[in-house]
A and B are shown apart, each in its own frame.
Chain A
Amino acid sequence: TVGAVALDASGNLAAATSTGGLTNKRYGRIGDTPIIGAGTYARNGNCAVSATGMGEVLLRCTVASDISGRMRYGNQSLKDACHNVVNGEIKGLGGECGVVAVDAEGQVHFSLNCPGMYRGTLDTHGEPLVAIYDTD
Protein backbone atom coordinates (compact mmCIF):
# COMPACT_ATOMS: atom_id res chain seq x y z
CA THR A 1 0.00 0.00 0.00
CA VAL A 2 1.14 3.52 -0.71
CA GLY A 3 -0.34 6.82 0.37
CA ALA A 4 0.14 10.55 0.71
CA VAL A 5 -1.30 13.46 2.64
CA ALA A 6 -0.78 17.15 1.94
CA LEU A 7 -1.64 20.69 2.92
CA ASP A 8 -1.38 23.23 0.12
CA ALA A 9 -0.66 26.93 0.23
CA SER A 10 -4.38 27.69 0.20
CA GLY A 11 -4.89 25.67 3.38
CA ASN A 12 -6.60 22.74 1.71
CA LEU A 13 -5.95 19.22 2.96
CA ALA A 14 -6.01 16.05 0.87
CA ALA A 15 -5.31 12.34 1.28
CA ALA A 16 -4.72 9.55 -1.22
CA THR A 17 -4.10 5.81 -0.84
CA SER A 18 -3.55 3.03 -3.36
CA THR A 19 -2.93 -0.68 -2.96
CA GLY A 20 -2.59 -4.05 -4.62
CA GLY A 21 -4.08 -5.74 -1.56
CA LEU A 22 -2.83 -9.02 -0.17
CA THR A 23 -0.77 -11.70 -1.86
CA ASN A 24 -2.86 -14.80 -2.61
CA LYS A 25 -6.14 -13.04 -1.77
CA ARG A 26 -9.43 -14.53 -3.00
CA TYR A 27 -13.11 -13.75 -3.32
CA GLY A 28 -12.62 -10.10 -4.27
CA ARG A 29 -11.35 -9.23 -0.82
CA ILE A 30 -11.10 -5.47 -0.19
CA GLY A 31 -9.25 -3.83 2.70
CA ASP A 32 -9.34 -0.38 4.23
CA THR A 33 -7.57 1.55 1.47
CA PRO A 34 -10.55 2.59 -0.70
CA ILE A 35 -12.97 3.04 2.20
CA ILE A 36 -13.37 6.68 3.08
CA GLY A 37 -12.91 7.06 6.82
CA ALA A 38 -10.99 3.80 7.18
CA GLY A 39 -7.81 4.02 5.11
CA THR A 40 -8.27 7.48 3.65
CA TYR A 41 -9.76 10.72 4.99
CA ALA A 42 -9.34 14.49 4.67
CA ARG A 43 -11.25 17.42 6.11
CA ASN A 44 -10.12 21.05 6.02
CA GLY A 45 -9.45 22.58 9.42
CA ASN A 46 -8.96 19.10 10.82
CA CYS A 47 -6.54 16.60 9.26
CA ALA A 48 -5.71 14.33 6.33
CA VAL A 49 -4.86 10.67 6.97
CA SER A 50 -3.65 7.74 4.90
CA ALA A 51 -3.29 4.33 6.55
CA THR A 52 -1.55 1.07 5.78
CA GLY A 53 -1.58 -2.27 7.51
CA MET A 54 -3.91 -5.14 8.29
CA GLY A 55 -6.91 -3.99 6.30
CA GLU A 56 -9.58 -5.97 8.10
CA VAL A 57 -8.63 -4.50 11.47
CA LEU A 58 -8.28 -1.00 10.06
CA LEU A 59 -11.75 -1.32 8.57
CA ARG A 60 -13.32 -2.40 11.83
CA CYS A 61 -11.63 0.45 13.68
CA THR A 62 -12.36 3.09 11.00
CA VAL A 63 -8.88 4.38 11.67
CA ALA A 64 -8.78 7.59 9.66
CA SER A 65 -12.12 8.92 10.86
CA ASP A 66 -11.26 7.94 14.43
CA ILE A 67 -8.14 10.12 14.27
CA SER A 68 -10.20 12.94 12.77
CA GLY A 69 -12.91 12.60 15.40
CA ARG A 70 -10.48 12.61 18.30
CA MET A 71 -9.16 15.93 17.01
CA ARG A 72 -12.56 17.43 16.20
CA TYR A 73 -14.50 16.40 19.26
CA GLY A 74 -11.80 15.52 21.78
CA ASN A 75 -9.41 18.36 21.04
CA GLN A 76 -6.53 15.94 20.80
CA SER A 77 -3.42 16.99 18.90
CA LEU A 78 -2.61 15.21 15.65
CA LYS A 79 0.25 13.40 17.37
CA ASP A 80 -1.89 12.22 20.29
CA ALA A 81 -4.80 11.20 18.08
CA CYS A 82 -2.57 9.15 15.78
CA HIS A 83 -0.68 7.58 18.65
CA ASN A 84 -3.81 6.72 20.61
CA VAL A 85 -5.51 5.12 17.63
CA VAL A 86 -2.54 3.18 16.29
CA ASN A 87 -1.52 1.94 19.72
CA GLY A 88 -5.00 1.50 21.15
CA GLU A 89 -7.87 -0.65 19.99
CA ILE A 90 -6.10 -1.70 16.81
CA LYS A 91 -3.15 -3.12 18.67
CA GLY A 92 -5.53 -4.87 21.05
CA LEU A 93 -7.11 -6.57 18.06
CA GLY A 94 -3.71 -7.67 16.81
CA GLY A 95 -3.59 -5.21 13.96
CA GLU A 96 -0.22 -4.07 12.70
CA CYS A 97 -0.47 -0.73 10.97
CA GLY A 98 0.90 2.70 10.33
CA VAL A 99 -0.56 6.07 9.40
CA VAL A 100 0.74 9.28 7.89
CA ALA A 101 -1.19 12.41 8.73
CA VAL A 102 -1.07 16.18 8.48
CA ASP A 103 -3.15 18.74 10.36
CA ALA A 104 -4.54 22.13 9.37
CA GLU A 105 -1.35 23.85 10.54
CA GLY A 106 0.83 21.69 8.36
CA GLN A 107 2.20 19.54 11.15
CA VAL A 108 3.08 16.08 9.86
CA HIS A 109 2.97 12.97 11.99
CA PHE A 110 3.78 9.30 11.47
CA SER A 111 2.56 6.55 13.80
CA LEU A 112 3.24 2.84 13.51
CA ASN A 113 2.89 -0.12 15.82
CA CYS A 114 5.13 -2.47 13.85
CA PRO A 115 8.86 -2.63 13.11
CA GLY A 116 8.78 -0.59 9.94
CA MET A 117 6.95 1.67 7.54
CA TYR A 118 8.35 3.10 4.33
CA ARG A 119 7.68 6.79 4.82
CA GLY A 120 8.85 10.29 4.12
CA THR A 121 8.21 13.99 4.44
CA LEU A 122 9.92 17.25 3.56
CA ASP A 123 12.35 18.86 5.99
CA THR A 124 12.28 22.56 6.85
CA HIS A 125 14.26 23.30 3.69
CA GLY A 126 11.85 21.32 1.53
CA GLU A 127 14.26 18.44 1.04
CA PRO A 128 13.07 14.81 1.15
CA LEU A 129 13.42 13.14 4.54
CA VAL A 130 12.80 9.39 4.35
CA ALA A 131 12.71 6.60 6.91
CA ILE A 132 11.96 2.88 6.99
CA TYR A 133 12.39 1.36 10.44
CA ASP A 134 10.59 2.24 13.64
CA THR A 135 13.94 3.22 15.11
CA ASP A 136 14.67 5.73 12.32
Chain B
Amino acid sequence: MAQFSLAIHGGAGTIEKHRMKADLEQAYRHALADALLAGKNILMAGGSSVDAVVAAVVSMEDNPLFNAGRGSVLTHDEMVEMDAAVMNGKDLNAGALCGVRHIKNPIVLARDIMTGSSHVMLSGDGAEKFAFNEAGHVYTEQDYFFTERRYDQLLDAKSTGRAALSESTFPDDKKHG
Protein backbone atom coordinates (compact mmCIF):
# COMPACT_ATOMS: atom_id res chain seq x y z
CA MET B 1 0.00 0.00 0.00
CA ALA B 2 1.21 3.50 -0.76
CA GLN B 3 2.11 5.56 2.30
CA PHE B 4 -0.39 8.14 1.18
CA SER B 5 -2.05 9.35 -2.00
CA LEU B 6 -3.64 12.58 -3.10
CA ALA B 7 -5.41 13.76 -6.24
CA ILE B 8 -7.21 16.99 -7.05
CA HIS B 9 -9.29 18.60 -9.76
CA GLY B 10 -10.18 22.18 -10.57
CA GLY B 11 -13.13 21.66 -12.91
CA ALA B 12 -13.74 19.93 -16.23
CA GLY B 13 -15.19 20.86 -19.59
CA THR B 14 -14.22 22.24 -22.95
CA ILE B 15 -10.85 23.70 -22.07
CA GLU B 16 -9.24 24.44 -25.41
CA LYS B 17 -5.47 24.37 -25.68
CA HIS B 18 -5.31 26.52 -28.77
CA ARG B 19 -7.30 29.28 -27.04
CA MET B 20 -5.51 29.16 -23.71
CA LYS B 21 -2.88 31.87 -23.24
CA ALA B 22 0.48 30.59 -22.04
CA ASP B 23 0.55 32.77 -18.94
CA LEU B 24 -2.94 31.71 -17.91
CA GLU B 25 -2.07 28.05 -18.40
CA GLN B 26 1.01 28.52 -16.25
CA ALA B 27 -1.08 30.19 -13.58
CA TYR B 28 -3.43 27.20 -13.50
CA ARG B 29 -0.53 24.77 -13.32
CA HIS B 30 1.04 26.65 -10.44
CA ALA B 31 -2.27 26.87 -8.61
CA LEU B 32 -2.83 23.12 -8.97
CA ALA B 33 0.69 22.44 -7.71
CA ASP B 34 0.09 24.72 -4.72
CA ALA B 35 -3.09 22.84 -3.84
CA LEU B 36 -1.28 19.51 -4.08
CA LEU B 37 1.49 20.76 -1.81
CA ALA B 38 -1.05 22.00 0.73
CA GLY B 39 -2.52 18.51 0.98
CA LYS B 40 0.81 16.74 0.75
CA ASN B 41 2.28 18.68 3.67
CA ILE B 42 -0.50 17.43 5.91
CA LEU B 43 -0.20 13.83 4.77
CA MET B 44 3.59 13.88 5.11
CA ALA B 45 3.25 15.08 8.68
CA GLY B 46 0.98 12.14 9.45
CA GLY B 47 -2.23 14.16 9.19
CA SER B 48 -5.57 12.73 8.21
CA SER B 49 -6.95 12.37 4.71
CA VAL B 50 -9.85 14.64 5.75
CA ASP B 51 -7.47 17.43 6.73
CA ALA B 52 -5.50 16.91 3.52
CA VAL B 53 -8.47 17.16 1.15
CA VAL B 54 -9.81 20.18 3.02
CA ALA B 55 -6.41 21.91 2.80
CA ALA B 56 -6.12 21.20 -0.92
CA VAL B 57 -9.62 22.51 -1.57
CA VAL B 58 -9.07 25.60 0.59
CA SER B 59 -6.02 26.41 -1.54
CA MET B 60 -8.18 26.35 -4.67
CA GLU B 61 -11.08 28.17 -2.99
CA ASP B 62 -8.68 31.01 -2.18
CA ASN B 63 -7.50 31.26 -5.77
CA PRO B 64 -9.78 33.32 -8.06
CA LEU B 65 -8.88 31.11 -11.02
CA PHE B 66 -11.23 28.37 -9.85
CA ASN B 67 -15.00 28.30 -9.63
CA ALA B 68 -15.23 27.86 -5.86
CA GLY B 69 -14.77 30.20 -2.92
CA ARG B 70 -13.20 33.47 -4.01
CA GLY B 71 -13.43 32.69 -7.73
CA SER B 72 -17.05 31.57 -7.69
CA VAL B 73 -19.13 32.49 -10.70
CA LEU B 74 -22.04 34.89 -10.33
CA THR B 75 -25.71 34.05 -10.26
CA HIS B 76 -28.36 35.86 -12.28
CA ASP B 77 -28.71 38.23 -9.30
CA GLU B 78 -24.98 38.99 -9.37
CA MET B 79 -24.29 37.13 -6.15
CA VAL B 80 -22.21 34.08 -5.36
CA GLU B 81 -23.98 30.95 -4.09
CA MET B 82 -21.64 28.19 -3.07
CA ASP B 83 -21.96 24.50 -2.28
CA ALA B 84 -19.48 22.07 -0.72
CA ALA B 85 -19.20 18.62 0.80
CA VAL B 86 -16.65 16.48 2.58
CA MET B 87 -16.81 12.80 3.51
CA ASN B 88 -14.67 10.72 5.83
CA GLY B 89 -14.32 7.15 4.60
CA LYS B 90 -13.29 5.95 8.05
CA ASP B 91 -16.71 6.33 9.64
CA LEU B 92 -18.88 7.44 6.69
CA ASN B 93 -19.40 10.75 8.41
CA ALA B 94 -20.14 13.58 6.01
CA GLY B 95 -20.84 17.29 6.01
CA ALA B 96 -22.36 19.35 3.23
CA LEU B 97 -23.89 22.73 2.56
CA CYS B 98 -25.57 24.52 -0.30
CA GLY B 99 -26.46 28.05 -1.27
CA VAL B 100 -24.19 29.93 1.11
CA ARG B 101 -23.21 33.49 0.22
CA HIS B 102 -20.98 34.80 2.98
CA ILE B 103 -18.59 31.98 3.81
CA LYS B 104 -14.98 32.46 2.76
CA ASN B 105 -14.15 28.76 2.69
CA PRO B 106 -17.27 26.62 2.27
CA ILE B 107 -15.26 23.40 2.50
CA VAL B 108 -14.19 24.32 6.03
CA LEU B 109 -17.83 24.86 6.94
CA ALA B 110 -18.66 21.46 5.42
CA ARG B 111 -16.09 19.89 7.74
CA ASP B 112 -17.52 21.83 10.68
CA ILE B 113 -21.02 20.55 9.86
CA MET B 114 -19.58 17.03 9.70
CA THR B 115 -17.79 17.24 13.02
CA GLY B 116 -19.82 19.81 14.94
CA SER B 117 -23.43 19.00 14.19
CA SER B 118 -25.61 15.94 14.13
CA HIS B 119 -26.63 16.71 10.57
CA VAL B 120 -25.15 15.99 7.17
CA MET B 121 -26.40 18.89 5.06
CA LEU B 122 -27.41 22.46 5.85
CA SER B 123 -28.67 25.01 3.35
CA GLY B 124 -28.56 28.76 2.77
CA ASP B 125 -29.34 31.00 5.73
CA GLY B 126 -29.46 28.07 8.13
CA ALA B 127 -25.99 26.95 7.12
CA GLU B 128 -24.71 30.49 7.62
CA LYS B 129 -26.37 30.78 11.06
CA PHE B 130 -24.62 27.58 12.09
CA ALA B 131 -21.35 28.93 10.65
CA PHE B 132 -21.46 32.23 12.50
CA ASN B 133 -23.16 31.18 15.74
CA GLU B 134 -21.66 27.76 16.35
CA ALA B 135 -18.61 27.22 14.17
CA GLY B 136 -16.74 30.50 14.49
CA HIS B 137 -16.84 31.53 10.84
CA VAL B 138 -16.54 35.20 10.00
CA TYR B 139 -19.15 36.93 7.83
CA THR B 140 -17.57 37.56 4.45
CA GLU B 141 -18.97 40.34 2.29
CA GLN B 142 -19.91 39.57 -1.30
CA ASP B 143 -17.25 42.05 -2.39
CA TYR B 144 -14.59 39.50 -1.45
CA PHE B 145 -15.86 37.18 -4.16
CA PHE B 146 -16.38 39.79 -6.86
CA THR B 147 -13.96 39.75 -9.80
CA GLU B 148 -14.23 41.59 -13.11
CA ARG B 149 -13.63 38.32 -14.90
CA ARG B 150 -16.66 36.64 -13.36
CA TYR B 151 -18.79 39.74 -13.92
CA ASP B 152 -17.84 39.80 -17.58
CA GLN B 153 -18.72 36.12 -17.81
CA LEU B 154 -22.11 36.80 -16.28
CA LEU B 155 -22.80 39.59 -18.74
CA ASP B 156 -21.74 37.28 -21.55
CA ALA B 157 -24.09 34.57 -20.28
CA LYS B 158 -26.97 36.99 -19.78
CA SER B 159 -26.58 38.38 -23.26
CA THR B 160 -27.55 35.02 -24.69
CA GLY B 161 -29.73 33.79 -21.85
CA ARG B 162 -27.43 30.96 -20.94
CA ALA B 163 -27.07 29.48 -17.47
CA ALA B 164 -23.88 27.56 -18.05
CA LEU B 165 -20.37 28.04 -19.30
CA SER B 166 -20.62 25.63 -22.19
CA GLU B 167 -20.80 28.34 -24.81
CA SER B 168 -18.66 30.87 -23.00
CA THR B 169 -16.33 33.08 -24.97
CA PHE B 170 -13.74 32.68 -22.22
CA PRO B 171 -11.14 30.11 -23.31
CA ASP B 172 -10.37 28.75 -19.87
CA ASP B 173 -13.93 28.68 -18.68
CA LYS B 174 -15.89 26.64 -21.14
CA LYS B 175 -16.45 24.21 -18.35
CA HIS B 176 -19.27 23.08 -16.17
CA GLY B 177 -19.62 23.48 -12.47
* Residues of chain A at the chain B interface (Cβ within 8 Å): 1-26, 28-36, 39-46, 48, 50, 52-55, 96-102, 104-110, 112, 114-122, 126, 128, 130, 132-133, 135
Contact = CB atoms under 8 A, between A and B. Distances in A.
Contact of B157 (A23, A32, A34, A54): A23
B7 A23 contact: no
Contacts of A118: 9-12, 15, 28, 32, 66
Contacts of A25: 75-76, 81, 163
Contact of A12 (B39, B82, B90): B90
28 contacts: A1-B12, A2-B35, A6-B49, A6-B56, A7-B2, A7-B6, A14-B53, A18-B106, A19-B67, A20-B81, A22-B177, A23-B157, A24-B74, A24-B76, A24-B164, A25-B81, A32-B177, A34-B97, A36-B96, A46-B89, A50-B9, A54-B177, A97-B12, A119-B9, A120-B7, A120-B35, A122-B5, A126-B40
Contacts of B128: none
Considering residues A21, A33, A43, A53, which has the most beta carbons from chain B within 10 angstroms of its beta carbon?
A21
Contacts of B1: 11, 104-106
Contacts, number: 345
Interface in B137-173: 150, 153-154, 157-158, 162-166, 168
Secondary structure of the A side of the interface?
Answer: strand
Closest 6 pairs between A and B when the two form their complex, measured CB to CB: A20-B72, A106-B2, A116-B15, A118-B10, A13-B89, A98-B12
A35 B52 contact: no
Secondary structure of the B side of the interface?
Answer: mixed
Contact count band on B = 35 or more
